[in-house]
Chains A and B, each alone.
Chain A
Amino acid sequence: MPIMNAPQSGITVRMYRQGGLGDCFLLAFRAEDDTARYMLIDCGVFTGTPGGSARMKKIAEDIKEATGGILHVLVGTHEHFDHLSGFGFSGSRQVFDEIEVKEVWVAWTEDPAHPLAKKLREELNVALRALRRAIQRFDASGDPRGPRIGEVLAFLSEGDEVLGVIGTKKQFDYVRGKGEALRFRRPGESPITLPGVQGVRVFVLGPPEDEGLLKRSNPSETDSEVYEIDPHMGFYSALLRSAFEEEGEPGLATAGDDEELGERSMPFHGRYRIEFEEQTLSGEQRTFFRRHYGFSKRRGHGPSWRRIDLDWLAAAESIALKLDNHVNNTSLALAIELVDTGKVLLFPADAQVGNWLSWHDVTWPGLDCGNDVTGTDLVERTVLYKVGHHGSHNATLRGKGLELMESSELVAMIPVDEDQADGKKWKMPFEPLYKRLKEKTRGRVIRADDGLPSAKPPGLSEGEWDEFKKRTKSDPSGEKLWIEYNVPG
């Protein structure tokens, strides 16, 4: 496998093909001394992808060879398995061990000293603990909702020793500790230049330092923040109280001592409460609840199809989705600009609605000869769009996103695996979005699963099609590890 050369002009973007949902992009820039500089944005594949571990090892080896073992920048966009697991599988991690990384970039949300980041992290941990309890309860009753929630949370996997993979949190720790320097990136900070590279500036668009926007993942007007900590009476306290009672796990850090938590997590005063156990109920009560609710399948017990023992836990499904979206929304979103032409490569990772919306409020005052540069400008100038979140419905904003991208050169890269998504009944890519992407790019959509368009899309002229073919390249080896596109300068 040969080295990835510095492009004659512009930036070359290599999208890896993991054989499953996941992001891994290697970018090559030309430095002033004509050598190449490399930036790796994420490296992961979805949990449970068959052959994922072996494939990631090959990808890591390719990265090592292509870069000569030096990454100038490693970007970890957010803490999800499908973006980081290349650093999790022991095989590929060992390859990364041998790669030298100059700088690591992560979002401010990973900064332990940032107060909002800290608050969000605590909330996330409480919610995760509660959800894992909910899964256990479902599993104990053989209820299919347990595995289903587990699947959503798989983005935040705890790791699996048998498969030789460490958890997502540890993967991110690995990334953070990998470079000679660790940078927490904040939206609106001064554009970043890459050492030795002229004519390229990197703008940080998101994630927003605004709790409201961070928690907004859907286009609807208001989105209730169900994963917020509710120390009393709420959904989590019910789950964590039992965790404390059964296993001595600590309750909620914010709720004072745990005895108090036990009392305050109850909606009614002790004099009204009766433990829901067939044995502890008194004669008349037992008869009532036996007849009208039932404890077993025995005769005289109410029918089981009307019981609601686990229904309250169904809220865990929505919470799991919201958590997942929330982590997506902490994505480090970058706009890489070619200064001479103003062209932009947009890498939003898995940013969702709130993150996208916030870009339009980011301004770099007087940056270009006294003129302001705004997030909106950068989106408008996009010529390469890395499609967010594998092309799902809520990770590409329409009016304030895709519709603003007016360049006639626009190309989209979608790191998607439709078969895997289909198997999980996920709509990736989401059909209406995919259709619009094809219209906006006039067919220049590059997919990780299908590769390049096989024939000239009707919207392109022969000249444009030739140009596009010239600028794209597929891994010539039988492995078909990647597809490249050289963004013209």
Chain B
Amino acid sequence: MTTSPYPRPPFRRLRALTFDPSLDLRLESAVVNRLTIQVPWEVNVAGKEILEPGPVGEYLEVVDIDPASGMVYEPVDLDDPHLLAQDGLSPSPGNPQFHQQMVYAVAMNTIRHFELALGRRALWSPRRYRDDSGEWQEEYVQRLRVYPHALREANAYYSPGRKALLFGYFPARPSDPGRMMPGSVVFTCLSHDIVAHETTHALLDGMHRRFLEPSNPDVLALHEAFADIVALFQHFSYPEVLRHQIARTRGDLRSDNLLAQLAQEFGQAIGRHGALRDALGGPDPDTGRWVAKEPDPNEIHRTLEPHARGAILVAAVFEAFLSIYRERTADLFRIATGGTGVLPPGDIHPDLVERLAQEASKSADHILRMCIRALDYCPPVDLTFGDYLRALITADRDLVPDDRREYRIAVIDAFRRRGIYPLDVRTLSEESLVWQEPSQADQREFSEALRSATRLRDLFPVWNLDSNREQIFEQNRHARQEIHRWLTSPPLPRAVRAAGMTLDARDPRTIYRKRGLPALEVHSVRPALKVGPGGRTMTDLVVEITQRRRGYFDEKQQERLESGRSRLPEPDFMFRGGCTVIIDLETGKVRYCIGKGISSERRLDAQRRFLKEPWNPSLRFTYFGEDQTFFRGDDELPPEPFALLHRDDPVGAL
């Protein structure tokens, strides 16, 4: 398929399962369990068609090896005319090539949602390794590797070390053999939600490498919550199932419905009564009947396991979505009921279903974009749910300055009902939640360091959805070096101080140093979209700066080392500070400065306490010790942080 006289199709249509194979076996859902996903027709910048068997494309390489069985499976060729003519292979759990097609389609769809929300191309986190001289090197990784049959266990995870998704398969052990055949094989790669969830972990890691470091109970929980949010709201972009569920619930999306649930088959196969997770409720432990869950503002204080804690955030975001949906459809319900708002018994009119589905889809799309865009407004390290709330509100205000429909109030309200508050604001109003602009004095320091908007703009000649990703990566690397140079040679301690970081030799001596001064890393540089006056789309520049400091479990030891002169021993843990600076590229002015100070003794102590009394003293903690659960030394991640998270606590699997 190299040259063709015919116009190139914009999309490739591929069949997949809307949920997973278990829904095929239930009469009420089988009709909507078939989905055709439109995946971009992959071409490179030069216009060359690049999709190879595997599939191997620009972003993904599906490599189907099954080490436990000692087998490989032939890579599917989606360009085969027979497959092109029928939207790919038809769904078949017994055919590994369909599995390859489905993981490719669902993962590509997830990537596309991400890119559209951010208005830029997605990059995977680079490979970091020490070269022969012991220096850390970063290497561009073009494609996320996908192994659809990597494991024989009820597990699937993103491996930050291998830049790969590993999916497992396993024999089902349902609690109710009437709903699922015991011993039947469950393939996690055939679950839409699991594929979307794991892909999102990889996308998030590509943006925020430090969000893998559990410096407080929210960090990993946010990783999980975010992955669930993307998987959930993706359901609303599939019109058939959306219409079906709206018809079934008579437009009431607060009631038990498939859209709010994740990983049905997996949940049942590990012996639960329903889906693995449900943003709205779940089976009552006594009766087994589905009941809605009321928000509990204290739950957040008792819940530390990352998946369970993440579920609180997911529930808050889902509630915000429901409020928006209700607001947008109140008029439709009034029209349909002659003003009473009370629907007569029986099915609702198909036209009403269609209109409600449109509104649900728009509301979901808005919320999903809001959640993704908020990632540009997060501090680079030590993120909390409260920070994320502030990021959501700020990001949304930058895109939709006028909150006419009160979306932001809906979000704030849903978070408040679950006890999720930022620690550093006085009230929960939009005005106080939005990140603050720097003071005049700080602004002057920044101007001195950054000098002009032109100089910044010159760092970014290309970064849009058509650019070459490797070129973007290299540019980014170059921009980071440039900005680092502006700040450090000669050193501009006041500008760095204004960003909440330090270049002052008098600051805590446990901060890592370079040539006598605290070392500074320009961690990431990227553009972010916003809507300016008159609806014009404009670009901000996001610059993340980080620093690190040696942390010791023993406070006395830390104190002694801070004031003493003795050689600093190997730290017990890594304490990080960081700052996200958002710069207006039109004016060169710093709009927000979102920081986590490196000199903060309060934060250092909080992290120490969190690590010393871990959220879940798992078996592994007793036996395999802290090297598995703690992050020690320079960038030495444990081999598979997500796999550990998943294996230790099947309640929060995946």
Contacts and interface: CB of A to CB of B under 8 A. Distances in A.
A321 B623 contact: yes
Interface in A242-288: 242, 265-269, 272-276, 281, 285, 288
Interface string A1-23: 00000000000000000000000
B239 interface: no
B85 to A, nearest CB: 22
Nearest to B155: A315
B619 interface: yes
Contacts of B626: 425
Contacts of A432: 613
A82 to B, nearest CB: 13
B223 interface: no
A293 B64 CA distance: 9
Name the prevailing secondary structure of the A interface residues. Answer: loop
A427 interface: yes
Interface string A202-246: 000000000000000110111111101011111100100010000
Interface in B124-163: 127, 129, 145, 147, 149-155, 159, 161-163
A234 B170 contact: yes
Given A272-B95, A308-B65, A427 B621 contact: yes
A234 B171 contact: yes
Contact of A311 (B56, B70, B151, B613): B151
A267 B154 contact: no
Contact of A308 (B166, B624, B647): B166
Contacts of A292: 54, 56, 61, 63
A430 interface: yes
A314 interface: yes
Contacts of A226: 153-154
A311 B61 CA distance: 18
B267 to A, nearest CB: 11
A223 B72 contact: no
Interface residues of B, number: 69
Contact of B185 (A267, A276, A324, A425): A267
Contacts of A266: 69, 71
B409 interface: no
A222 B174 CA distance: 13
B271 A276 contact: no
A214 to B, nearest CB: 16
A235 B617 contact: no
B185 A394 contact: no
B68 A426 contact: no
Contacts of B622: 392-394, 426-428, 430
Nearest to B617: A393
Given A233-B171, A272-B95, A308-B147, A321 B166 contact: no
Nearest to B129: A305
Contact of A424 (B66, B161, B625, B640): B625
A298 interface: no
Contacts of A221: 651
B183 interface: yes
A258 B618 CA distance: 37
A417 to B, nearest CB: 15
B636 interface: no
B651 A276 contact: no
A473 interface: no
A425 B621 CA distance: 8
B252 interface: no
A393 B161 CA distance: 30
B37 interface: no
A224 B71 contact: no
Contacts of B67: 276, 308-312
A299 interface: no
A224 B154 CA distance: 9
B183 A275 contact: no
B620 interface: yes
B183 to A, nearest CB: 6
A289 interface: yes
Contacts of A217: 619
A473 B150 CA distance: 58
B651 A426 contact: no
Nearest to B648: A318
B72 A285 contact: yes
Contacts of A233: 152, 169-171, 183, 185
Contacts of B620: 317-318, 321
B11 interface: no
B627 interface: yes
Contacts of A152: 623
A288 B619 contact: no
Contact of B625 (A267, A305, A425): A425
A470 interface: no
Contacts of A289: 63, 65, 72
B272 A269 contact: no
Nearest to B186: A233
B94 to A, nearest CB: 6
A272 B96 contact: yes
Contacts of A428: 622
Given A233-B171, A393-B617, A311 B166 contact: yes
B73 A314 contact: no
A268 B173 contact: no
B474 interface: no
A224 B94 contact: no
B53 interface: yes
Interface in B66-120: 66-75, 94-97
23 contacts: A152-B623, A220-B650, A230-B170, A230-B183, A238-B68, A267-B169, A273-B73, A274-B71, A275-B71, A306-B162, A308-B150, A312-B152, A314-B640, A317-B620, A321-B619, A321-B620, A394-B617, A394-B619, A425-B624, A425-B625, A425-B626, A427-B617, A431-B613
Interface of A: 148, 152, 217-218, 220-226, 228, 230-235, 238, 242, 265-269, 272-276, 281, 285, 288-289, 292-293, 305-312, 314-315, 317-318, 321-322, 324-325, 392-394, 424-428, 430-432
Q: 8 smallest A-B Cβ distances: which pairs? A: A425-B625, A224-B650, A238-B68, A393-B617, A315-B153, A318-B647, A321-B619, A235-B152
